Amino acid sequence: MTNSKVAILILNYNGFKQLGKFFLYCIESALNVKYNVDVYVIDNGSKDESLDLLKKFDVYVINHKNNYGFVGGYNLALKKITKRYDYLILMNNDYIIT
């Protein structure tokens, strides 16, 4: 898997408002994975400061203008990036990789 192209996708909707700093820990934990991965945050039309906070991180942001829910948000993002990667990891924004 070390030579494979891997992306971690994290779906977000008002994550900072709902989870506080735990949302930021989630992003940091994905960026600290020991393998070479690209991290995407898929934002489902958040109205909190989540998008502003993401500017501090080296992540790709897919910004949906509306909230498409869990399945809709991921499906729209997957259509854009699936062909670029060998593996895709879908992760909730309340999860920390240890």
Confidence at residue 1, expressed as pLDDT on a 0 to 100 scale: 53
Query: What's the mean per-residue pLDDT of the chain?
Result: 91
Confidence at residue 43, expressed as pLDDT on a 0 to 100 scale: 94
Cα–Cα nearest to 15, from 37, 36, 35, 30: 30
Confidence at residue 87, expressed as pLDDT on a 0 to 100 scale: 95
Confidence at residue 2, expressed as pLDDT on a 0 to 100 scale: 60
71, 97, 37, 84: CA torsion to nearest 10: -20
Residues of the chain with confidence (pLDDT) below 70:
1-2
Confidence at residue 54, expressed as pLDDT on a 0 to 100 scale: 87
